[in-house]
């Protein structure tokens, strides 16, 4: 997949190579050494590349979520830290930069993860992270979804999320929250749904509320309710990857998608992962930031 037209990694242009005992591709003319994992998230990994393939396979084919303890056990790693870093790297490869926007009937709402008290929409609330959600409705059924950590529930946070994730001309369903008020009526057909009773939230926007409860369950189940808000977007990306492919009959396709994404990924250090400083330089996020 990395070199569909044959070996062409060398500057000298020579195409003949031999494979070293460490699986390095070595040009027979200039002896330039090339590793298949160079320049990707697998760069500098000391484990054989076959371990990465195993990790990718389990990551993509397990129906339920996947945590670092699972990966550590499956690969027999001595170190939990290594498994944790591998997973963070894989999660960063779940979003395809040119993915199609949602279209048709799309419900949009926000929900909160973490903390003890219910979140307030007006501003960021203590210990809580706000997440914007968009859910395609196909009749009673749910199509594809999008999730994004947002700093607050203001129009400045919500409208860019809608623009970046929903095709112009779509029907956008929201509740009466003022953050959706300025939505461009020339771009979207905006339907405001008002709930009849204060305690009857599920009667409006049922699709997006279902997804919100599934995401919360995922955080509770896979991550035992513990999560660092810094990494929440990675967990959400993984969840969206799984969710949008939940009906796919071909698990091999998911594996292929991850493989493609890893090949086009860039090298990342442990420190960058720990601090998650480069998250916003990743394809989809950079689009979202520039919007």
Q: Which of 12, 49, 69, 289 binds Zn ion (CB under 5 A)?
A: 12
Rank residues 26 and 75 by Cβ distance to Zn ion and give the closer one. Answer: 26
17 binds Zn ion (CB under 5 A): no
Contacts (CB under 5 A) with Zn ion, residues 32-61: 32
Query: With CB under 5 A, what is the number of residues at the site for Zn ion?
Result: 7
Q: Which of 16, 30, 168, 289 binds Zn ion (CB under 5 A)?
A: 30
14 binds Zn ion (CB under 5 A): yes
96 binds Zn ion (CB under 5 A): no
217 binds Zn ion (CB under 5 A): no
* Closest to 230 (Cα-Cα) out of 290, 285, 289, 273: 273
10 binds Zn ion (CB under 5 A): yes
Quick one: which segment of 19-27, 186-194, 202-210, 238-246 binds Zn ion (CB under 5 A)? 19-27
Rank residues 34 and 91 by Cβ distance to Zn ion and give the closer one. Answer: 34
267 binds Zn ion (CB under 5 A): no
Quick one: which segment of 11-19, 41-49, 64-72, 266-274 binds Zn ion (CB under 5 A)? 11-19
Q: Which of 17, 25, 27, 41 binds Zn ion (CB under 5 A)?
A: 27
16 binds Zn ion (CB under 5 A): no
Secondary structure (DSSP) of the chain = ---TTS----TT----EEE-TTS-EEETTT--EE-TTTTSTTTT--S-HHHHHHHHHHHHH-SS---HHHHHHHHT-S-HHHHHHHHHHHHTTS--TTPPPB-SEEEEEEEEESSSSPPPSSS--TT-EEEEEEEEEETTEEEEEEEEEES-SSHHHHHHHHHHHB-TT-EEEE-S-GGGTT--TTTSEEEE---SSTT-GGGSSHHHHHHHHHHHHHHHHHSTT---GGGHHHHHHHHHHHHHTTT-S-HHHHHHHHHHHHHT-----HHHHHHTTTGGGSHHHHHHHH-
- Smallest distance from the beta carbon of 13 to Zn ion, in angstroms? 7
121 binds Zn ion (CB under 5 A): no
- Smallest distance from the beta carbon of 27 to Zn ion, in angstroms? 3
Interacting residues toward Zn ion by CB under 5 A = 10, 12, 14, 27, 29-30, 32
């Amino acid at each position: 997949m990395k070199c569909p037209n044959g070996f062409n990694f060398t500057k000298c242009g020579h195409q003949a190579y031999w494979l070293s005992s460490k699986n390095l591709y070595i040009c027979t003319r200039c002896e330039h050494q090339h590793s298949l994992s160079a320049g990707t998230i697998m760069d500098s990994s000391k484990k054989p590349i076959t371990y990465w393939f195993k990790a990718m396979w389990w990551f993509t084919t397990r129906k339920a979520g996947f945590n670092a303890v699972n990966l550590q056990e499956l690969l027999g790693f001595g170190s939990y830290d290594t498994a944790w870093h591998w997973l963070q790297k894989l999660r960063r490869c779940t979003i395809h930069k040119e993915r199609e926007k949602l279209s048709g009937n799309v419900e949009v709402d926000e929900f909160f993860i973490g903390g003890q008290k219910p979140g307030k929409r007006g501003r960021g609330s203590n210990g809580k992270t706000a997440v914007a959600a968009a859910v395609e409705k196909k009749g009673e059924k749910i199509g594809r979804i999008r999730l994004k950590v947002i700093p607050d529930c203001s129009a400045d946070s919500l409208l860019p999320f809608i623009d970046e994730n929903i095709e112009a001309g779509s029907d956008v369903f929201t509740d009466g929250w003022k953050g959706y008020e300025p939505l461009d009526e020339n771009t979207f057909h905006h339907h405001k749904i008002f709930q009849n009773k204060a305690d009857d939230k599920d009667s409006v926007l049922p699709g997006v509320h279902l997804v919100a409860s599934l995401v919360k369950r995922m955080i509770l189940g896979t991550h035992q309710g513990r999560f660092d808000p810094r990494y929440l977007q990675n967990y959400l990306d993984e969840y969206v990857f799984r969710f949008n492919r939940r009906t796919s009959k071909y698990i091999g396709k998911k594996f292929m998608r991850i493989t493609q994404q890893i090949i086009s990924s860039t090298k990342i250090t442990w420190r960058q992962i720990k601090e998650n400083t480069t998250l916003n330089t990743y394809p989809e996020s950079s689009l979202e930031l520039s919007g």
